[in-house]
Amino acid sequence: MQIQSERLRRHFVQLAEYGKIGETGVCRPTLSNVEKEAFAVVSEWMREAGMTVRIDDCGNLIGRKEGKCDGPMLMMGSHLDSQPYGGRFDGTAGVLAAIESVATMTEHGVIPDVPIEVVAFCDEEGWRFNKGLFGSRAIFGQLEPGELARTDKDGITREQALRDFGCDPTQIASCVYPDGAVGCYLELHIEQGPILEREGKPIGIVSGIAGPIWWTVTLRGFAGHAGSVPMDLRRDALVGAAETIVALNEIVTQEKGIQTVGTVGNMTIFPNSRNIIPEEVQFTVDLRDIDLDRRNRYEAQLRDAIERVVGRYGLQYEIREDTNSEPRYCAEWIKQFIREESVGLVDGCPELMSGPFHDALAASYVCDYGMIFVRSKDGISHNPAEFSSDADLALGTQLLCQTALRVTKELRRRASMETGMVSQPML
């Protein structure tokens, strides 16, 4: 049962026109008119694949393929929103691969053992309202207070954006899936890193998603004239920030051959004048690791480094923890299915962690999950130069399709064992 690689390629080309920037880039903000247009065309592809289609009140686009039995479903998908200066494959690959998998089943007259739902989740990227994984966290009951009140750069709240999109934010609670409704989650995604390309492998098996700690760090010193205050009397917050950044880099690179990463990606300086000593600097810290003990050890080392820096320069400091998520590991049985189904498709399928988080992270708290990575050219992502080849995407989609069928059989078997009888047939 082979997927139609040409149809898959055509869908990528067509979808890239919605929010196109330059020759290869995409800007498709969540809950925007351009995403609504993308939803419309993807909805049609879902229907052609044999699915019923709806958009829930959280802004998720959901296609459903009924199964032989009405048991805990298999959910697949990703997202269609992009970064403001993004590429054609991030998120999109997971949605289109899932649709193609279901379309292939339908064309070959294959009915999955349990229902399959394909979801294009709302606001995975998080840049518009500064909080991502909205749609996936919503359906799995993980939203936090105040999320609808978050605003974008134009002052539009998430609540208003949902209304403008045709959703009813007062009904978000009704979007939450009941416990046990989702038996498993599968997601195909581009790697967004260089490991598969370095190893010469088109696809890989994800071992788990790294747990990130996000901080906002504020260092406070004292402003003074840049021309008159001697160097040994300065309380320069920017110098303290610079030393902290260097310390972070040294901490996460102290052990060779591991995938700990640390990043300072945003910084603001006050008063931000060329002839005034910086009085206050605020910057973000992103620390990620698949090993929770090691991440916690590095976090403690970074706190110690900040205390040494502020003591050296007479600064005050504040650390605000914005996110603290533990690593989430893929289910061994799903990884084994992926590994077995990859035989005959590729010569070896390496296992690797995911540094970025995905909608699978939200799913991991309510069901077993698995992920397939597709090779990224030069490891580039969140950039118009992001690229995965048609051949690699087709291979990953074929593997997803075969794995999905194995998973639905396993979900039906488990449901039968739990109830002591075969689930009620749907057909």
- Rounded to an integer, the average pLDDT of 380-384 is 95
pLDDT the model gives residue 325: 84
Mean pLDDT of 20-35: 97
17 is in an annotated binding site: no
pLDDT of 34 higher than 70: yes
- 172-226 pLDDT per residue, tens: 999 999 999 999 999 999 999 999 999 999 999 999 999 889 999 999 999 999 9
The pTM score is 0.87
Whether the pLDDT of residue 420 is over 70: the answer is no
Dihedral sign computed on CA atoms, order 293, 217, 159, 94 = negative
Segment holding 398, helix H or strand E: helix 390-419
Mean pLDDT value across the chain? 95
pLDDT at 423 over 50: no
On the question of pLDDT at 167 being above 70, the answer is yes
Tell whether residue 48 is among the known ligand binding residues. no
224 burial (CB, 10 Å; 0-12 / 13-18 / 19+) is middle
Average pLDDT over residues 315-343: 95
Specify the pLDDT at position 71.
86
Query: Which segment of 29-43, 75-89, 296-310, 405-419 scores lowest on mean pLDDT?
Result: 405-419
Is the pLDDT confidence value at 425 over 60? no
The answer to the question of whether 108 is labelled as a binding residue is no
225 annotated to a ligand binding site = no
What ranges in 253-373 are assigned the alpha helix state H? 292-313, 332-342, 359-363
| Portion of the chain with pLDDT greater than 70, in percent | 98
With 0-12 / 13-18 / 19 or more C-beta atoms within 10 angstroms meaning exposed / middle / buried, residue 351 is: middle
Inform me whether the pLDDT recorded for 334 exceeds 70.
Answer: yes
Average pLDDT over residues 29-42: 98
pLDDT digits 0-9 by tens, 110-162 = 999 999 999 999 999 999 998 899 999 999 999 999 999 999 999 999 999 99
Q: How large is the average pLDDT for residues 24-30? A: 97
Cβ neighbours, 10 Å, residue 270: 15
- Which residue blocks in 24-157 are alpha helix, DSSP H? 33-48, 92-107, 134-139
Set out the domains of the chain in order of their start, with CATH numbers.
Answer: 5-209+327-419 (3.40.630.10), 211-324 (3.30.70.360)
pLDDT of residue 424: 44
Task: Compute the distance between CA of residue 99 and CA of residue 46 in angstroms, rounded to an integer.
Answer: 6
Packing angle of the helix pair 33-48, 92-107 (nearest 10 deg): 20
Total residues found in the chain within this entry: 427
Residue with tokens 């799995």: 140
